[in-house]
Structure formats: structure tokens, C-alpha cells
Amino acid sequence: METTKIPLDENELPKRWYNIQADLPTPLDPLLNPQTKEPITPIDLGIAKSII
């Protein structure tokens, strides 16, 4: 699969964002760790050490 990048100038960046999850009928499934197929944890994201 080819990656496409579209460089934007600062004035072309979005000014607003929309949280689609608030309008979904059911919450999205949690993100899964590709190795364990279990929901990702802060440790998987590498942020646990910065919290402790």
C-alpha cells in the first residue's frame, strides 16, 4: 500500500475538530495490541514510565 502525504501550510490546517464518537450509537471497540490481540495498555503505548 502506498502512503500519501499532503503537506499543508499553517493556514490550511483544520481550525476545528469533530468528535464522531459522541454521535455513534455504540462506543468503538478498544484498540488492540497487534502482538497479544488484547486491548492496549499505557505500558504498550510507552507512557506508563512517564506517569510513575
Give the tens place of pLDDT for each residue, 3-30.
Answer: 999 999 999 998 999 999 899 999 999 9
Rounded Cα distance, 45 and 14, in Å: 26
Per-residue confidence (pLDDT) for residue 51, from 0 to 100: 54
Residue 39 · residue 31 · CB < 8 Å: yes
Per-residue confidence (pLDDT) for residue 42, from 0 to 100: 83
Task: Provide the H-helix boundaries in 1-52.
Answer: 42-45, 48-51
CA angle 51, 30, 25 (to 5 degrees): 125
Look up the pTM and report it: 0.45
